[in-house]
Structure 1
Amino acid sequence: HGVSAAQVALAWLLGRPAVSSLVIGGRTEAQFKDNIAAASLVLTSDERARLDAVSRPAVLYPYWHQQFTAKDRFGPADLVLDRDAI
């Protein structure tokens, strides 16, 4: 896109389902302008998926264990923690 990494990160965060606002900051006016420009950056669904994949945290125990032993008994609430289903 020819923009800064900060713009990409902020645009990605703005498109996350649970994010309704962001707090930005900077030391200079140029940094603030760069951050604000992220609001007009549109990422494709493929770009979003790639960013989601590389930023996904590892599943903690006991959830990784449940993925292998109780997958057939998962309910809707459990599927939130099932990273393969996302």
Structure 2
Amino acid sequence: MLAAAIKVGATAIVTLNFKDFPADYLAPWDIEVKSPDDFVLDQIDLDGRVVWACVQQIADSRTSPPETVDDVLDALEAAGLVEAVAALRAG
């Protein structure tokens, strides 16, 4: 994963596996490790409307059974995106 991040010039690796990506090891490549929750929070800070539109698109694509935006947000929250979902719900 690190080799791929270096190859494409990434600035972050998104993972919950922090122990295998210590900050001092990533520093020479100016890459940081981020949790999925922190990554989505960053995307919300960049353009929350785009993130909201993506959540809406996910809800719209779920037809069997149908899901609402709240259903999608509940699933994201259950998956660990607690702060990002709180930010989206706060508007």
TM bin, normalised by shorter chain, reads: under 0.3
Q: Answer with 1 or 2: which has the greater Rg.
A: 1
Name the one with the larger helix percent.
2
**TM-score for the superposition, normalised by structure 2:** 0.27
Higher strand proportion: 2
